[in-house]
Structure formats: C-alpha cells, structure tokens
Amino acid sequence: MKKILQFGAGSIGRGFLGQLYTESGYEVVFLEALDEMVQQLNRDQQYRLKIVGTNARELTISPVRAVNVRDPDAVAEEFETATLLGTAVGARNLPGVASVIVAGMRHRADLGFDEPLDLVICENLPHAAHVMRGHLHHHSDADFQAYLDTHLGLVETVVTRMVPLVPPELAAQDPTVVLSEDFKRLPVNQTAFKGPWPEVEGMIFTDNLPAYHEQKLYTDNTCHALLAYQG
C-alpha cells in the first residue's frame, strides 16, 4: 500500500488531507506531537469526518495511524517505506518539522535509498517551498543540502477547503472528530515534483499556482471579508 507521512493531525490534516489520501489508496500515518491524538488514532485506526452544508453526511476515514513526532527512531523507520510526505502544521512549526525531515532523509541516504520523495506543503504561507528549503538547509551541512535538493521535492499547494471549529461538546466526546465543507480540490505545483505525480483524489496539477492563489483570495477570502464587514 502507498503510504504518506503527514506531519500534523490537526484540522487540515484530518479534515482535508486524510480524506484525499485514503480515498486514493494511501495508508495515512500522522506524525503528531499530541499524545492523546496519537493514542486514539492508533487505537481506532480511523476517525469521523462530518461534512457540513447542503450535502451533510458523516465519513469514516481509514486506514490511519499515528507516530509521535518526538520519537526519532520510530519516525526514521517510517521514512523507510514512505512514498509521499506532507505538512499541515502551521508556519511557526515548520522549523521543527524540517529537522525531523532532514533526519528521516539522512536515514534513507544511509540505507542507500536513491528514490526521491516529495513533500506536499499545505500551509497558508507565501513562498512556502523557499521558506521550507531554508529551514531544511539550516539543519544540514553543505553536502547533505545538495542531496536534499535532488532527492526531496518541495511542492507548494493552495489549501482550498474550509474546516470550521468543532463544537467543544462534540470534541469532548471524540477528540479526533473533525468538521469540513464538501469542497475538496488541492491545486499543486506540478513542476516541483522530483518523483512521478501521485494519483491523489482532488489534486489539480498546474504550472500556474499563483492563479489559484488569486482565485482563492478574490473569491473565498473576499466573500468572507464582505460578510465580516456587514457583521
């Protein structure tokens, strides 16, 4: 089975990406720092995704499991069989994620792996690939920087799905449940992949990602702003 190592089991990781990858035949392994989240995902091997709106329904997302991102040996072992990497952690957490990725890629290099991996960066961050490369280089010496540049694709995306907050009473009953709208498109920069394009439900491959950024800004974000001004 194809396997994605998804950094972050938060609202975007579970509420958006987990659905796309499991529907595409991937095992989703969340690399997560919250012990309670790791334990429950490993116990259930699934979680509930409640789609809200006109086509409201509940989905069961599986197969999933989790590894504590602070366990370097366990994370390194997962890198041995990974076919794709992803982040959805928030920009301020990317430096820490970069150090884990460098360790995982170094482990693959030590084992003689020559196949590249691609990192799908799902962050609301301008020039995310450039920023991520800087964090990766910060944790690498010059020789390994060259290895990363040839063996790790840094793929920028436009996160288009809205994931509302889970009501506290629902979260208290089930910490892994997540709410989301039905819309599930994920535009990605097709020129950034080092390996073959992955077959992922909802992925839109484009060489003009800025157009999708502008589309989101002038449709989604502008509509939200207008409603907020009226409020």
pLDDT given for residue 111 in this prediction? 97
Q: Indicate whether this model's pTM tops 0.75.
A: yes
Q: Give the tens place of pLDDT for each residue, 14-61.
A: 999 999 999 999 999 999 999 999 999 999 999 999 999 889 999 999
- Residue 46, helix vs strand vs coil: coil
- Bridge-based pairing of strands 64-68 and 47-51 is unpaired
Tokens of 91: 């920009």
> Domain count of the chain?
1
Residue listed under structure tokens 């990974």? 82
pLDDT given for residue 88 in this prediction? 98
Q: What is the Cα–Cα distance from 165 to 152, expressed in whole angstroms?
A: 33
Q: What is the Cα–Cα distance from 170 to 178, expressed in whole angstroms?
A: 9
Q: Give the tens place of pLDDT for each residue, 89-135.
A: 999 999 999 999 999 999 999 999 999 999 999 999 999 999 999 99
Residue-number span of the structural domain to which 45 is assigned = 2-230
Closest CA to 30 of 9, 59, 44: 9
Residue listed under structure tokens 């077959």? 199
- What is the CATH number for 195? 3.40.50.720
Q: Give the tens place of pLDDT for each residue, 189-200.
A: 999 999 999 999
Name, in order, each residue with C-beta under 8 angstroms of 24's C-beta and a sequence gap of 6 or more. 2, 198, 199, 200, 201
Name, in order, each residue with C-beta under 8 angstroms of 192's C-beta and a sequence gap of 6 or more. 118, 129, 153, 154, 155, 156
Closest CA to 64 of 97, 35, 21: 21
- Residue 56, helix vs strand vs coil: coil
At residue 187, φ and ψ (nearest 5 deg) are: -65, 135
